[in-house]
Amino acid sequence: MRHARPLLALALPLVLSACASSSMPGFLQVYKMDIHQGNILDEDKVKGLRLGMTENEVRFLLGSPMLVDIFHQHRWDYIYYNKPGKDEPQQRRISLFFESGRLARIEPPLEAAN
């Protein structure tokens, strides 16, 4: 029994570290929940943006922006962050600029936003 305790003390960290190993089969790994934050930017809705739209039309199409900077009130930032449980995180951001209450510029441009 005396010899079993040191052997158990050496084996226990090895057994516990095997639980965190990513080489384990998927069905034995810990479940990681998907995390969605921000405005979900649906591709069809983003493609529906047109220069000259009013602020209300943009808000109806995309929803309220996640960020409205008090120093740049004519700039709306739509930010979306997605962290799938076992995959790499994805982030997407679109900034809309208004002049006289109308959409004047989209960054990045819609062709590059994809």
Domain membership flag for residue 11: no
- Residue with the bigger pLDDT between 52 and 70: it is 52
17 pLDDT above the threshold of 70: no
Domain membership flag for residue 98: yes
Domain membership flag for residue 7: no
Residue 50 and residue 90 in contact, taking contact as beta carbons nearer than 8 Å: no
Averaged pLDDT, 20-26: 64
Domain membership flag for residue 5: no
Domain membership flag for residue 15: no
> Would you state the pLDDT for residue 114?
45
Domain membership flag for residue 4: no
Domain count, the chain: 1
Domain membership flag for residue 36: yes
> Would you state the pLDDT for residue 70?
86
Could you list the residue range(s) of the whole structural domain that residue 52 is in? 32-107
**Residue 62 — left, alpha, or beta (φ > 0 → left; ψ -120 to 50 → alpha)?**
alpha
Averaged pLDDT, 19-46: 78
Domain membership flag for residue 27: no
Q: Domain with 50 in it: what CATH number?
A: 3.30.1450
- Residue with the bigger pLDDT between 75 and 66: it is 75
For 70-113, write each residue's pLDDT tens digit.
888 899 999 989 888 888 898 999 999 999 999 999 998 776 54
Question: Is the four-CA dihedral 57, 62, 63, 69 of positive or negative sign?
Answer: negative
